[in-house]
Amino acid sequence: MQAQDWNKIRFLESTTNLKAIIKHSTGRTPSTEIAHDIAACLQQGRLFFEIAASAPLQVQPLQIYYGVVGFAKAIIIARNVQSISTIAQSHGVSDVSQQAANIEDLTLQFHRKGLFAQFNDVVASLGRLNYFQNSMPRSEPKPFDPAAALSGTNCSLKEILARIPSLQRLYQRTFREDAACLSVSFYHRDDEVELRIDDPHLIADRDDLRSIVEKWREKFPFLRQWCLCEAGHAWNNTVLLFYNIDKPVEGEFSDQFLVRNENGFVARDRSRARIPFSSILPPLAGGITNDHPTAIKPLNGVQLSEFALQFCGAFLLSSLVRYRPHVWQHSLSHSTLERRTADDRALSLIEAFSGKVLSDFPKLAEKSIDWANSRDLYA
């Protein structure tokens, strides 16, 4: 695992630096006491993550979750400019797994109040769509959903892992099913926006194209509001290009609109009424920390950020270490016992998830707190 650069977090551990940065980002100057609370939480998160980076797998998930909690508290206090005494003392989620559950089936339940809800709602408000216009970075606010609607619902570790950006391929190989997130790309030309999806299936004809587009629209309904204007083979994939324009009356797959060429299909004419692109997009992962945009399927009907999902996954794995160490040890041993088969198929995925949390959460803390400079690509 690549060593973490802690310079930006260490910079924020200074109360003097924090007071100036928070004033610039929120318009409010925190008291010295509040700045000290934020710095203490940041330092705690950093120290737990430093320990976790070299900890054995038997205990690493516990260190990761403690670090996540430290960073989450720092973000809540800094964004709300409030005392640490207002932070909930409960996790806001609980482990309701069956006693004999496999690791991938570990299950948590969401509660109306608690640290998770506070953290989610602060981070959700920061959701945005990032893009470049004439080589200049631009952003459109696009908040995620508050946590209230999750209260009383459950989710499994497998459902969480399915929604973690950049782990799609490993998830598919592990469970032999598609992940619940989709990497997309955007290209802006004034008010025309091109949305690109790469699919490994190489289309053969118009019906094949219609089938593959419908597959993605079934999984991600927001794509129904985008018009398919081009499809062709490139880099051993089928590249699908959608545009923010009205669909033709005759249909986007018609011979009159979508013309066959030597590489695939292309729209005869895109000079149609354009739709504001942000109005036909859901919140996307990657916006808060300037990472690649990824659409995530809602969880129990709620659109969560990638960091809310990381919080939940880290909690479940820490609960596994705390309360089911024998189950975790059995998985790590890759062994089969008389009454328990090997429970190791998700191990590599869990390790990749843990590495992503260790890499991403400090970046979230830094960007969330220094929000005024969070779009500075050279910061």
Residues 6+ apart with CB under 8 A from 245: 192, 227, 229, 270, 272, 273, 274, 275
pLDDT at 339: 67
pLDDT at 335: 80
Residue whose token pair is 């970046």? 363
CA distance 353 to 364: 16
In the chain, what are the domain boundaries? 7-175+305-373, 185-280
Number of Cβ within 10 Å of residue 348's Cβ equals 12
pLDDT at 100: 83
CA distance 7 to 178: 37
Dig out the tokens for 278 from the structure.
């942000």
Q: What is the pTM of this model?
A: 0.95
User: Residues of the chain whose pLDDT is less than 50?
Assistant: 378-379
